[in-house]
Amino acid sequence: MERFILVLVVVACFLLALWGMRLGWRRRARSQSVLVPPFPQVPEQPGEPGLEAPGLYVSTTTAGDWQNRIVTRGMGLRGRAVLRRFPGGVEVDRAGAPGFWIPQDAIVGARRGSAIAGKVMGTDSLLIITWRLGEVELDTGFRGDDHGDYPQWIQSLGHEVKGGAQ
């Protein structure tokens, strides 16, 4: 009987921890929804993609603060994605989550990085696009299946920016 009670206490503590994490995630999303405007949707006729890279959408953070993940409007969910470069911007086509558009005039630059919220690596295996959304500057991290494409992406997106976790 004592063992049964102990198991119930452990399960209750685990469920309480999960509930607390969910509550914190929702509170963060609510507070960010006031500060971060809605992410742009992909235009109906974006043109032909110049570059395309399958890989993993890691996260979007506030620029320069690689651990401050943006979680509002489903942006905090990591998953498979395809990055497509069009003349007017970049499409982040996420599998199972809302995709979004990074307009060309909002792009500040791009760089290789080793860390962004949700992923820390020993090499520069992340492509990080720095861009503006309203008054907020963001870093969007993507881990491509082929890291050899990153120089083309950085050149295509304008110029390399320094910053973030190295």
Domain boundaries, the chain: 51-156
Task: Confirm whether pTM is higher than 0.85.
Answer: no
Q: What is the structure's pLDDT at 163?
A: 54
Distance (Å, whole) CA 106 – CA 93: 18
* Run means of pLDDT, 10 residues per run, the chain, 166 residues: 90 93 81 77 84 91 85 84 92 89 91 84 86 90 89 82 51
Q: What is the structure's pLDDT at 159?
A: 65
Burial label for 101, CB within 10 Å (0-12, 13-18, 19+), is buried
Q: What is the structure's pLDDT at 56?
A: 92
CATH number for domain 51-156, candidates 2.40.50.100, 2.30.29.30, 2.130.10.10, 2.30.38.10: 2.30.29.30
Distance (Å, whole) CA 151 – CA 165: 19
Task: Please say whether the beta carbons of 161 and 130 come within 8 A.
Answer: yes
